[in-house]
Amino acid sequence: MKSVELAFFVVEKTRELGRMDGCVLAKCPGWDRVKAHRYLSKLSQLGWLERVSSNGRPAYVLGRKVLGFAVDFGSL
User: Are residues 22 and 58 in contact, defined by beta-carbon separation less than 8 angstroms?
Assistant: yes
Give dist(CA 60, CA 53) in Å, integer.
Answer: 8
CATH of 2-74, one of 3.40.50.1000, 1.10.10.10, 3.40.50.300, 1.10.10.350: 1.10.10.10
Task: Give the pLDDT confidence of 55-75 residue by residue, as tens digits.
Answer: 778 899 999 998 887 766 665
Predicted model pTM: 0.86
Residue 33 has pLDDT above 80, yes or no: yes
- State the distance between the two ends of the chain, measured CA to CA, in whole angstroms: 29
